């Protein structure tokens, strides 16, 4: 069922536009994927996500495994029906959260044991278990269990994590192949911290196992943005041209445009949703904080160029009022705007690739930001 084709390549950058086909429909790339951690993109309905143009959303395996648990989601034959979303879903493997959010993560031959951040209960996550959970979730695009490490990390730590990641990827692939009924696919995740030779080693080992798509993990974990871009610049060309390339957990619109220029096809980030709940709204001229008193009686929309539901019907003054009064509708209207902004920014970026006007699109983008 899974298939990826490149439709167009930019002549003045490495940017490319493509289409991914999945069992739940197609995804035009480059694509921005909103994050629905616990089976909901915080505050939004699936209809609002569709209206914002979202083609695919993320679910977090770690979170959903702990709450509500696979035995509940299994009753619904997966996350799609459980949460009333029938477009594609990508799930991470849980690795990132086990090493960042859970307590007492301990590696063993089998996998990694950890304590739930919610109730302290002990769990063992293995590569096979990560696949089993993601199959239960009905994910269209599953991710291999990986060991994502913090920045900075020593070369030795990075190498060890990379080796674990490779072994787990091989085991994930085997587990997937055994259960694979063609309804989902599996991506490998390149690690290697900020060491180019380790990134190369990781990419080569994963390619040797062979995956339908490749992600780059372990970026945007605290390193300077230049280093993040340098690692992406180095690693992306190592990956097969004909497979989708996904950079995990990144980033700002500036990050997205630069990473797209380097040949990235897929992005996800909590930035638009989380920042919306903190009152930070993205516009073509940069971000605004809606709590600012300058918006007290501002009857204009958040972004005059934006066609989202929020900008079509509500003023900055109303959004500020709701936000200051901590009205629940504030978080929702802010999130609608930010998700629309990110999703449609990448849609426009894609169109620029198709029209081969990516260079001027990028210049325009920075010119508007400085306004």
Q: Which residues bind a second copy (CB under 8 A)?
A: 38-40, 42-45, 67-68, 71-72, 75-76, 82-84, 296-297, 299, 313-315, 317-318, 320-322, 324-325, 327-329, 331-332
In Å, how far are 14, 60, 343 from 77, measured between CA atoms? 40, 17, 28
Structure tokens at 180: 């694979």
Task: Identify the CA nearest to 91 among candidates 62, 125, 129.
Answer: 62
Task: Name every residue whose Cβ is closer than 8 Å to that of residue 168 and which is 6 or more positions away in sequence.
Answer: 95, 111, 127, 144, 145, 146, 147
Distance CA 325, CA 30 (A): 38
Beta carbons within 10 angstroms of residue 84's beta carbon: 13
Q: Measured from the CB atom, is 44 or 136 closer to a second copy?
A: 44
Q: Measured from the CB atom, is 143 or 322 closer to a second copy?
A: 322
In whole angstroms, how close is the CB of 301 to a second copy at the nearest point?
A: 12
In whole angstroms, how close is the CB of 281 to a second copy at the nearest point?
A: 17
Catalytic residue among 92, 140, 146, 265: 92
Q: Measured from the CB atom, is 323 or 361 closer to a second copy?
A: 323
Question: What is the per-residue DSSP string for 45-58?
Answer: -HHHHHHTT---EE
* SS3 category, 209: helix
Sign for the pseudo-dihedral over CA of 240, 246, 250, 255: positive
Task: Name every residue whose Cβ is closer than 8 Å to that of residue 166 and which is 6 or more positions away in sequence.
Answer: 202, 205, 206, 209
Could you tell me if 265 and 31 are in contact, meaning their C-beta atoms sit under 8 angstroms apart?
Answer: yes
233 is catalytic: no
In whole angstroms, how close is the CB of 330 to a second copy at the nearest point?
A: 8
In whole angstroms, how close is the CB of 121 to a second copy at the nearest point?
A: 15
Could you tell me if 263 and 16 are in contact, meaning their C-beta atoms sit under 8 angstroms apart?
Answer: yes
Q: Measured from the CB atom, is 70 or 185 closer to a second copy?
A: 70
Q: Measured from the CB atom, is 123 or 321 closer to a second copy?
A: 321
Catalytic residue among 265, 268, 303, 356: 268
Task: Name every residue whose Cβ is closer than 8 Å to that of residue 332 and which is 6 or more positions away in sequence.
Answer: 43, 44
Q: Measured from the CB atom, is 80 or 243 closer to a second copy?
A: 80
In whole angstroms, how close is the CB of 58 to a second copy at the nearest point?
A: 15
Distance CA 121, CA 209 (A): 34
Distance CA 133, CA 124 (A): 12
Task: Identify the CA nearest to 249 among candidates 213, 218, 287.
Answer: 218
92 is catalytic: yes
Q: Measured from the CB atom, is 157 or 315 closer to a second copy?
A: 315
Task: Identify the CA nearest to 31 among candidates 52, 59, 60.
Answer: 52
In whole angstroms, how close is the CB of 203 to a second copy at the nearest point?
A: 36
In whole angstroms, how close is the CB of 210 to a second copy at the nearest point?
A: 36
* SS3 category, 24: coil
Catalytic residue ranges: 92, 268
């Amino acid at each position: 069922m899974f298939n990826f084709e490149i439709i167009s390549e930019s002549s003045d950058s490495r940017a490319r536009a493509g289409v991914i086909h999945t069992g739940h429909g197609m995804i035009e790339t480059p694509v921005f994927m909103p994050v629905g951690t616990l089976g909901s993109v915080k505050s939004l309905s699936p209809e609002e996500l569709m209206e914002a143009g979202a083609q695919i959303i993320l679910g977090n395996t770690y979170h959903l495994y702990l709450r509500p648990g696979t035995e509940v989601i299994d009753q619904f034959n997966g996350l799609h029906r459980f949460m009333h979303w029938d477009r594609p879903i990508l799930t991470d493997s849980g690795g990132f959260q086990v090493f960042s959010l859970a307590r007492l993560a301990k590696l063993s031959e089998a996998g990694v044991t950890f304590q739930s951040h919610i109730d302290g209960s002990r769990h063992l996550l293995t590569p096979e278990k990560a696949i089993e959970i993601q199959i239960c979730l009905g994910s269209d695009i599953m991710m291999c269990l990986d060991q994502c490490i913090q920045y900075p990390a020593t070369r030795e730590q990075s190498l060890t994590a990379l080796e674990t990641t490779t072994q787990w990827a091989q085991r994930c692939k085997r587990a997937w192949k055994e259960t694979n009924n063609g309804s989902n696919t599996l991506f490998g995740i390149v690690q290697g911290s900020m060491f180019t030779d380790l990134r190369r080693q990781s990419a080569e080992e994963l390619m040797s196992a062979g995956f339908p798509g490749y992600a780059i993990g372990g970026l945007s974990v605290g390193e300077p943005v230049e280093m993040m871009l340098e690692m992406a610049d180095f690693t992306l060309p190592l990956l097969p041209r004909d497979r989708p390339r996904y950079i995990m957990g990144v980033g700002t619109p500036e990050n997205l445009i630069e990473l797209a220029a380097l040949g990235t096809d897929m992005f996800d980030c909590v930035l638009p949703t989380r920042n919306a709940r903190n009152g930070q709204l993205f516009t073509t001229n940069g971000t605004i904080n809606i709590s600012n008193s300058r918006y007290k009686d501002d009857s204009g929309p958040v972004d005059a160029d934006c066609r989202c539901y929020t900008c079509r019907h509500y003023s900055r003054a109303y959004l500020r009022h709701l936000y200051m009064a901590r009205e629940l509708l504030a978080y929702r209207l802010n999130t609608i705007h930010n998700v629309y902004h990110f999703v449609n920014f990448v849609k426009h970026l894609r169109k620029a690739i198709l029209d081969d006007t990516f260079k001027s699109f990028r210049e325009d983008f920075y010119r508007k930001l400085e306004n």
